[in-house]
Structure 1
Amino acid sequence: MSDDVTIRLRREPAPRTPEPGRPLSATAAMGGAMAVGITLVLCMSLALTAWFLADGGAHGNTKDALRVGSDAWLMGHGSHLTLTGLPLGLTPLALTMMLVLVAFRCGRWAGRNAHTVTDDRVLVGGVATFAGAYVVIAVIVCTLATTTGATPGMSRTVLGALLISALAGGLGQGVGTGRLDFWLDQVPAWIREVALGAVCGALLLLASGAVLVAVSLLFSFNEASEILSKLDLSTGDALTYTLVMALVAPNLALLGSSYLLGPGFAIGTGTTVSPTAVSLGAVPAFPVLAALPGDGPTPGWLVVLMAVPALAAAIGAGIGRRDGESQPLDLAALRGAAAGFFAGVLITVAISFAGGPAGTGRMADIGAPTARVLVFATGTMMVGGLIGAVVHEWWSRRRRPAEVGAGPR
């Protein structure tokens, strides 16, 4: 009789495949530092180039040029700069847009190169880490750039850096991790419709303001060229001057939008530029200001331009309703009015960033009256959105039977 011997081999667990990527906190910290480094180096490089173009480096030194670049970078965050006692608070919004774009892309990079994120608390921590790294470096730059002749504002620097890093960087991380798509899927269709209509309406009005400024400048090209020639600038100075004007181009487009809304804007204390009246007096020798209309009453037909915001809101509401299902006219009108209202809010917020002081005395007041712009924008664009949504729904109903009848039988 023999005993059966059973030998059991111990099975080792299969090796666990490590999850690709790094923790989101690590990539977010690197992304925040990258966003600062890329934009700061770009601003400093442009300042160095302008310094050499201006006088070949004959005046000042490299540190001065680098400090100018860092000051411009801080102003892009909304920081007010005090130059030998003169406040300069006009934010170059083209630079701000570049900062927002880079922060978004760095945030998206951080999200894509991190571990898979399924918990929103992890994403919130990543956004906080991104913003923390960004703000800390911004504070260091503000401290190092402070001199007796040029003093950037610390509080506005911190606020601007926090908003850009948290909003743009956080949105980028939401896209990179895929959590933004998950959130959008949970949002009701009518909210997406209203939001899309509001954004499109605001962007259309901004584009209309840009067209208005471009056309006005085209008709005043001779005056602008004469102002530029009287400044007697060298080639390098003229290029630098052109760069400065390009940096404030979005500001001019937003002020043009305020003009179309009705309240207009001011280029100095006690001045008004609107479709109904213009009171300017002497203006600075800035070539682009040649596009401003002359003093006195304006032609009556200019009031027609105030219909542009309503038209922009109507088109925006129609775009928001483009892929929506058929609905009662009263509901379509309600959603269109909501889209127009929020479009007015968005454009008002943008216009509020377009102005700021450019010195003391008369030039301490540049920009649009925010409260009046808000009233005009929300009222006009709400009516336009309502009409646009109703017309779109009516046209969709009229076209739908024709398309059904034209189909195969």
Structure 2
Amino acid sequence: MLDVTHYIECAAHFFFFFFSSFSSGCSVECLSTESHLQELSRLEHVCCAALGVNRKNICNFEVEYLCDYKRVQEEELYLVKWKGYSDSECSWEPRRHLRCFNLLRQFHRDLERELLRKKVVARCPRTLDSSLSHYVVLKAKQRQWLRLWEQHLNSKRAHPGLITVENEVDLEGPPKDFVYINEYRVGEGVTITKSAVGCKCRDCFTDERGCCPGGFQHKFAYNEEGQVKVKPGFPIYECNSLCRCGPSCPNRVVQKGIQYNFCIFRTPDGRGWGVRTLEKIRKNSFVMEYVGEIITSDEAERRGQIYDRQGATYLFDLDYIEDVYTVDAAHYGNISHFVNHSCKPNLQVYNVFIDNQDERLPRIAFFSTRTIRTGEELTFDYRMQVDPVDVESTKMDTNFGLAGLTGSPKKRRRVECKCGTNSCRKYLF
């Protein structure tokens, strides 16, 4: 029989070899994770330098979450779920043995909120009834799922802005069947043709006529700070991959992606998930794109009827020139998937053209309508319209039309608006 100490040391060195080989381009399969080997090492009281297990920390076990609480005389005891061990191996531990201060604080915060919801006067009872202990366990597991989802979202994003996830409202976990993407996914029957020309400017900001906007008889969209200066309804033509200018060109804003850190959070008023900014956003700044699967309007009509029965929809008409294509962000999308409606929004829609010049397939960009404070929720108007008086009298701009959800209002069931603003229209449709 293989000696346990020898096994751990061999496995640790194999684990170290696996990661060093992986970094050099060679990889082999490792059957044990580092954390599993650390737990096995501590269980067998074996020190291993390769795993970072020594005499000082050999008796340290990681708390995964806290399951229950009781006070015996004046001593506080917690039922601990240990990381890497089954539920049957949970153990009661005195508080003085626990160094998981954040988990302890979170446990009592969850407990106090549930007691408040149940209108229980006692701040912290001597023992928890089964419903309370069940709740704190579900909350701890939900927090784990949300952290994993947060890590997954950040591993998929191709933009600088970080994503955090928070739910302090209910037990809802990550949405099912949602795939994070960074650019349009092309659906059946849709073809995107790349631009065949690029500008030759040495300085795009000063050579407005010779740059991409001027080539399409439109104004340069940004000022020196990268803020949009054209009115809603005017198209934005950015420099593309064929242009001579580099990535620092002032006419490359939307294509640089999301620059701000955002939090996907659970709203407390029944609006589901929402998005708030973790940084101050200046007025007229690019915030995010609305991306999803590009489908034909016929397919959008079919899906819209299904989404209506489900009580939600993420269909956005690309009706800048004509109503031919729609963006469906129900299953494929970015953080804009979670942005809620408001009748008084802080985001405004602009049509943007970069590598694709097909006027039927603009990219949908959200810019801030005002300064947005740190912690403020981001919103846009699902029925946003542009005042034709303020729009240039060209074919493209006067037909900007409705930048909202697809489908005829007569065919859609009425959906109550919950934005809560003074100017609320009461219904989305």
TM > 0.5: no
Highest RCO, 1 vs 2 (Cα 8 Å, sep ≥ 6): 1
The structure richer in helix per residue is 1
* Alignment TM-score, normalising by the size of structure 2: 0.21
The structure richer in strand per residue is 2
